[in-house]
Amino acid sequence: MRKLSYPKKTVLITIFSGLTLLFFSFRDDLFQISKNLDIFSSIYKELNMSYVDEVNPAHIIKTGIDAMLDNLDPYTEFVPEADVEDYKMKYVSTQYGGIGAGVFYRNGKVYISDVFEGFPAQKAAIKAGDEIISIDGVILKGKNSEQVSLLLKGPRETALKINIGRDGKTIEKNIFRAEISQPNVSYYGIMDNNVGYIKLDKFLENAGQEVKTALIELKKSNPTGIVLDLRYNGGGILQEAVKIVNLFVAKDVEVVLQKGRNKEKTINYKTYLQPIDAQIPLVILVNGRSASASEIVAGSLQDLDRAVIIGQQSFGKGLVQQTFNLPYNSLVKITVAKYYTPSGRCIQALDYAHRAEDGMVNKFSDSLKTEFKTKNGRSVYDGSGIYPDIFVERYQYHQITQALLSKYLLFDFANDFVNKNPQIAPAKDFNLTDANYANLITFLGNKDYSYQTETEALLQNLLKQAEKEKTYPKIKTELETLKAKVASIKKEDLTQFKPEIKRVLESEIVQRYYYEKGKSQQAFQYDKELKEAVKLFNNLVNYSSILKGESNFKVIGKPGKMLVQED
């Protein structure tokens, strides 16, 4: 075969032409940037000099920046100097100076929602349900969450005086702030069936080390398997996710590829240490609020056929952010890349690059989803989160339970219960008795927990449509009879949905006595996803067959509408 050749002069002309186009393109970009910055600064100057009313220059700029970033994605954001410390606490560090308590707002007042074990609020005998009336003489009524947070937080060992309201009395508490360190791992332990369990809430500083410590401690009991619970974990630091995968996977294995438009942002993250245990059976629990770093861990371990994923389809955040310092101690967090799991898939669910005309963001359509293969040849898909290997339908609370929660009535009853019961059974054994539930019904007797069922909503829509079509007079009797029947059935909801109301109330009560750890232990008895994990560890043949793609579990339907059945 004859080789094609070109004169050197032709090659030089081609290269020169390419460089010339690149130069002019670069120069045009610089001109556009300079032009638009000049226009922006001129408008800013004229507004300050000429607008009819006095303007706040900082507010105008912040509004302009926010509007510019809103056109991109919700993770790209500007952080002014005043918000930098809160930003670092939310996205980087698990430590801050405070009293160790959560708060919520009700009828314009601030209340304690829960207290953290071992911190100043608990040591000062502050309880869930206490109203915070004032902090250092500043009345809180009417204050927003940011203002209350600023009053509660501060340097460690600094004093603050809190007036709280309880049972119609005002109590003064003198407290010294402490360094509040909220762990990434909120609970770990061995369950009754000798399964090790680790609950990871976030991926902030030290998350990898905390999971490692928990794993080493659990292995002392020779567990039949490990459950890593990533449900409701919204993510955090990517490198911490890599460290956690490395605990279960051999050295020098690709965990995630970060790929950006800027080549400097394209990084291949691999495991770099020997694992703690590359063989122990492993299950990862996920749900619709498992996102970002959670999806890196779940997706990587799924692609490497190292773990079985149980739960619901995850959130679908396949974007990577990086923080850049700006003048005057401000920051900007920018989405710099997408990440890809070892099979090559990106699990980003929303297509921010192609918005609709009205600005709405759509999910990637099923037709655009691509099939990828795991290490053992199992099929996985991109474009919409992590699909579990074993799907467990999400439990949806009935409207009556949601109403009791949203109106804080279960919260109030739990506080009343604690006042009357100085101690209860150990967390994992605690259950409300029928007598306790009868007390709840009595407690709710004069309370407003009105709610609309789905049936009532459908009836209401039917009535409106009948009136619109002028058929209501003909079917009025039937509709009124049906409406009365639904109302009669609704009165039985407290009895019909007793099991789920009890479940939620038990969690509220246990948290008052045993804090977050006790709450986790008590919830095990109701946890369907956890029960599926235990069932799998009791049948390691099935566990292995799932990872090999030879299991009896079948995925029915298109990705995103998964059902699982066992032959």
Catalytically annotated residue among 202, 243, 317, 519: 317
* Distance of alpha carbon 425 from alpha carbon 429, whole angstroms: 6
Write the DSSP string, 239-303: HHHHHHHHTTS-TT-EEEEEE-SSGGG-EEEE--S--S-SSS-EEEEE-TT--THHHHHHHHHHH
Residue 150 contacts residue 83 (beta carbons within 8 Å): no
| Residue whose C-alpha is closest to residue 508's, from 402, 415, 406, 404 | 415
Consecutive H or E run containing 308: strand 308-311
Residue corresponding to tokens 């799998």: 536
Tokens of 40: 């922006």
Backbone angles phi, psi at 97, to 5 degrees: -95, 125
| Residue whose C-alpha is closest to residue 90's, from 156, 146, 162, 147 | 146
Task: Reply yes or no on whether 358 is catalytic.
Answer: no
Task: Reply yes or no on whether 317 is catalytic.
Answer: yes
| Residue whose C-alpha is closest to residue 389's, from 503, 529, 243 | 529
Residue 408 contacts residue 106 (beta carbons within 8 Å): yes
Catalytically annotated residue among 134, 186, 290, 292: 292
* Distance of alpha carbon 115 from alpha carbon 310, whole angstroms: 31
Using CB atoms within 10 Å of the CB of residue 259, give its burial: 0 to 12 exposed, 13 to 18 middle, 19+ buried: middle
Task: Reply yes or no on whether 292 is catalytic.
Answer: yes
Residue 513 contacts residue 423 (beta carbons within 8 Å): yes
Active site residues: 292, 303, 317
